[in-house]
Amino acid sequence: MTVPQGSIEVYGNLKIVVTSFNKPSRIAFQKGNTIYVSIKARGYPDSVLKYIIAHELAHLAVKRHTWRFWKIVGIIYPEYEKGKEKLLKIAREELMRGAKVRFR
């Protein structure tokens, strides 16, 4: 089967696991074909959740945040900048409340 241009093929089973992390500042990460999302993200707006998943899916193809990585994020979720900006706003609000936040 050929993969259409602008697509990403995921081999094996892709799992999304909602869990709590030892690092409270972490929102999500990807390891193998599993995306782990923090339970605290459950209250985030849809645009932020879509951005988080698109971001982690892009890491299946590109590990670092290069121009190619961001291009893939944009293919998966064309409005990713809206979700990214909302996530940054949430992170800033959490910082003002004294929470430790890690955002790349």
Rounded to the nearest angstrom, the gap between the alpha carbon of residue 103 and the centroid of all alpha carbons in its chain is 11
Q: What domains can you pick out in the chain, each with its CATH number?
A: 15-96 (3.30.2010.10)
- pLDDT value at position 32? 84
pTM of the shown model? 0.79
Single out the residue of 79, 52, 42, 56 nearest to residue 10, CA to CA: 56
Residue 96: in which H helix or E strand, if any? helix 80-96
Condensed to tens digits (0 to 9), the pLDDT of residues 80-94 reads 999 999 999 998 887
- pLDDT value at position 102? 56
Q: Which band of pLDDT confidence, cut at 50, 70 and 90, is reported for residue 11? A: low
Rounded to the nearest angstrom, the gap between the alpha carbon of residue 86 and the centroid of all alpha carbons in its chain is 13
- pLDDT value at position 23? 73
Listed in sequence order, the DSSP H helices in 17-79 are 46-58, 67-76
